[in-house]
Amino acid sequence: MKISSILIAVLIFLPTATFAKVVDVRMVDTTKNGGPGFVPDLIRLTPGDSVHFVASDLGHNVQSIPGMLPVKASSFGGELNNSFTVTFDKPGLYGFKCSPHYFIGMVGLIVVGDTHNEDEIKKISHPGIAKSAFENIFHRLDEGEY
């Protein structure tokens, strides 16, 4: 009797339970496009999900980019050569970079829920190849290619 009551309770509440996911993003020396990068560099999450940035190759880190966060979202960052996990609770777009390789385009974008801040973060200026890397990422985002 006790086991069947527990089973019934689980079956009733299971459909309403939400399970946060963790997405691995590798920091690598060579991507399919050539240079260093994040794989993947465009990630879709729901609020409460996490990204585990994996230090697959040495010499990389992850840092949020000032101005490329939703309002009231906290900045984030990990140490060079270390894996790092961050949970995203606020909806919107989050831009991130590898500090040593930002200039050569090692950047990425996280979509949490919606893209309400897209227009604002597209106005942020980026150095060197990071500018065209973000143009490519935003093109894929707008085309739904992720």
Q: With respect to residue 38, please indicate whether it lies within any of the assigned structural domains.
A: yes
Can you name the residues that pair with 107 across neighbouring β-strands?
Answer: 97
Which amino acid, 72?
Answer: K
Please give the torsion angle defined by the CA atoms of residues 97, 103, 104 and 105, in that order, rounded to the nearest 10 degrees. Answer: 40
Which has more confidence, 23 or 145?
A: 23
Total domains in the fold of the chain:
1
Q: With respect to residue 114, please indicate whether it lies within any of the assigned structural domains.
A: yes
Q: With respect to residue 126, please indicate whether it lies within any of the assigned structural domains.
A: yes
Q: With respect to residue 121, please indicate whether it lies within any of the assigned structural domains.
A: yes
Coarse DSSP helix, strand, coil percentages of the chain, rounded to the nearest 5 percent = 25, 25, 50
pLDDT tens column, 119-142: 999 999 999 999 999 999 999 999
Q: With respect to residue 11, please indicate whether it lies within any of the assigned structural domains.
A: no
Domain of residue 58, residue span: 20-143
Rounded to two decimals, the pTM is 0.87
pLDDT tens column, 62-108: 999 999 999 999 999 999 999 999 999 999 999 999 999 999 999 99
Q: Write the CATH number for 127.
A: 2.60.40.420
- Cα Rg, the chain, nearest whole Å: 18
Residue with tokens 């270390």: 82
